[in-house]
């Protein structure tokens, strides 16, 4: 039930709706001793904020994160971390005209079918606004990953803004690369690294495809070209090291990280809310036309890049923690 909690050891619960007083996240399972301040979280929030470009929503939220708990004298205490982000720029009246009309491509219809009614103000919980809470929690995960030399970076690949007709929207891609990831992350068989990352990315609204490495292109390749060969090289300190000569696999073999760069791409559909007239029906079953006012991203991909990074970081820190107890010698190091 409910589905607002993510992760096994590093657990994040998000709460809040687009036009409620606030959104936020509670993190349970963050190790004690991590330096953490509100200022350290803000650069991550900045990456998700609408920019001045023509592709972003006109809704301007400060996205100021308040740390409510779990931090004392600038360090995490090991107890649950409460993160709060107030909604300061919601215009619910933009939605009153379309309160009983189903927006094509959005979650209005399916929420109504599931719950029998819905919060129509800005999409409620199905709004992209919910992802701000993930980015705040993802910042804490990323700060932890960096302590182990693991760096998550994302880039949005978007169409030329000039190709978009007035009032319409477009899709895009978000490419993610992770460097410094050790081999061994991923739990056979249902908690494979790619399975968990896939679930994490598909939990983001508007993500309609995820591929690892060469992904869908692998389906039309020959095995002799698709297989990543192994070779040996000598490290700076004179040790022999196994490496892959190519990375079609995207850094995952058998659901376990292979020590290479992790590479994935998420496909993002066009923003559902567009101001062009569209055919739809009302919740009373009358055919009608809808013109959506509101303030919407023309292309979601640039802002989703920060959300993809957050979900990848949250998944990786969780799996890094799980991997720490997979061998007896590791447990003995802690307890003997």
Ligand X SMILES: Cc1cc2nc3c(=O)[nH]c(=O)nc-3n(C[C@H](O)[C@H](O)[C@H](O)COP(=O)(O)O)c2cc1C
300 scored as a contact of ligand X (CB under 6 A): yes
CA 138 from centre of chain: 8
Query: Using CB under 6 A, which of the segments 34-42, 218-226, 271-279, 313-321 binds ligand X?
Result: 271-279
From candidates 30, 84, 307, 314, binder to ligand X by CB under 6 A: 307
Residues of this chain, 216-255, that bind ligand X according to CB under 6 A: none
Residue with smaller CB distance to ligand X, 133 or 252: 133
Residue with smaller CB distance to ligand X, 108 or 322: 108
| Rounded least distance, CB 244 to ligand X, Å | 32
Name the one residue in this structure whose structure tokens are 């963050």: 30
| CB environment 119-143: b (16+ within 10 A), e (fewer) | bbbbbbbbbbbbbbbbbbbbbbbbb
303 scored as a contact of ligand X (CB under 6 A): yes
204 scored as a contact of ligand X (CB under 6 A): yes
106 scored as a contact of ligand X (CB under 6 A): yes
| Rounded least distance, CB 129 to ligand X, Å | 8
Query: Using CB under 6 A, which of the segments 22-30, 178-186, 203-211, 213-221 binds ligand X?
Result: 203-211
Query: Using CB under 6 A, which of the segments 20-28, 77-85, 298-306, 325-333 binds ligand X?
Result: 298-306
Phi, psi (deg, nearest 5) at residue 193:
-60, -45
From candidates 16, 138, 205, 250, binder to ligand X by CB under 6 A: 205
Residue closest to ligand X, measured at CB? 128
Residues in the chain: 336
Residues of this chain, 26-85, that bind ligand X according to CB under 6 A: 57
Q: What is the largest CA-CA distance in the chain?
A: 74
By three-state DSSP, how is residue 1 classified? Answer: coil
| Rounded least distance, CB 50 to ligand X, Å | 9
Using only C-alpha atoms, the chain has a radius of gyration, in whole angstroms, of: 22
Reference 82, options 23, 129, 34; nearest CA is 23
Burial class (CB in 10 A: 0-12, 13-18, 19+), 229: exposed
Per-residue mark of binding to ligand X, 115-144 (x: CB under 6 A): -----------xxx--x-------------
| CB environment 253-290: b (16+ within 10 A), e (fewer) | bebbbbbbebbbbbbbbbbbbbeeebebeeeeeeeeeb
Cβ partners under 8 Å of residue 303, min gap 6: 48, 49, 50, 56, 128, 297
Q: Got the DSSP string for 278-304?
A: EEEEBTTS-EEEE---S---SBSHHHH
296 scored as a contact of ligand X (CB under 6 A): yes
From candidates 14, 257, 263, 271, binder to ligand X by CB under 6 A: 271
| Rounded least distance, CB 263 to ligand X, Å | 21
Distance of alpha carbon 215 from alpha carbon 223, whole angstroms? 14
| Rounded least distance, CB 297 to ligand X, Å | 4
Residue with smaller CB distance to ligand X, 67 or 307: 307
CA 29 from centre of chain: 19
Distance of alpha carbon 135 from alpha carbon 188, whole angstroms? 28
From candidates 27, 30, 67, 107, binder to ligand X by CB under 6 A: 107
Residue with smaller CB distance to ligand X, 74 or 277: 277
Query: Using CB under 6 A, which of the segments 91-99, 113-121, 230-238, 297-305 binds ligand X?
Result: 297-305
| Rounded least distance, CB 81 to ligand X, Å | 22
Question: Using CB under 6 A as the criterion, which residues of the chain lie in contact with ligand X when the complex forms?
Answer: 57, 106-107, 126-128, 131, 204-206, 269, 271-273, 296-297, 300, 303-304, 307
């Amino acid at each position: 039930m409910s589905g607002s909690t993510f992760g096994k050891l590093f657990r994040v619960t998000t709460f809040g709706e687009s036009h409620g007083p606030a959104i936020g996240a509670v993190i349970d399972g963050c190790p004690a001793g991590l330096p953490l301040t509100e200022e350290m979280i803000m650069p991550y929030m900045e990456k998700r904020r609408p920019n001045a470009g023509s592709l972003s929503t006109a809704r301007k939220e400060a996205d100021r994160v308040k740390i409510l708990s779990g931090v004392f004298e600038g360090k995490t205490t090991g107890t649950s971390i409460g993160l709060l982000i107030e909604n300061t720029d919601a215009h619910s009246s933009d939605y009153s005209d379309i309160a009983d009309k189903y927006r094509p491509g959005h979650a209005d219809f399916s929420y109504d079918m599931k719950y029998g009614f819905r919060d129509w103000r800005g999409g409620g919980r199905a709004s992209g606004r919910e992802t701000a809470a993930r980015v705040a929690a993802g910042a804490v995960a990323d700060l932890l990953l960096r302590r182990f030399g693991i760096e998550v970076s994302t880039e949005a690949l978007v169409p030329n803004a000039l190709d978009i007709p007035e009032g319409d929207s477009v899709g895009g891609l978000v490419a993610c690369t992770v460097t410094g990831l050790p081999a061994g992350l991923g739990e056979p068989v249902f908690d494979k690294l790619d399975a968990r990352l896939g679930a994490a990315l598909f939990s983001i609204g508007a993500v309609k495809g995820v591929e690892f490495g060469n992904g869908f292109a692998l389906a039309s390749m020959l095995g002799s070209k698709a297989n990543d060969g192994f070779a040996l090289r000598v490290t700076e300190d004179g040790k022999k090291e196994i490496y892959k000569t190519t990375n079609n696999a995207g850094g995952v073999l058998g659901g376990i990280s292979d020590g290479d760069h992790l590479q994935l791409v998420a496909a993002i559909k066009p923003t559902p809310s567009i101001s062009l007239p569209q055919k739809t029906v009302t919740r009373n079953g009358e055919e009608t036309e809808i013109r959506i006012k509101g303030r919407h991203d023309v292309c979601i991909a640039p802002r989703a890049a920060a959300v993809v990074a957050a979900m990848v970081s949250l998944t990786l820190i969780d799996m890094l923690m799980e991997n720490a107890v997979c061998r007896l010698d590791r447990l003995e190091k802690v307890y003997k």
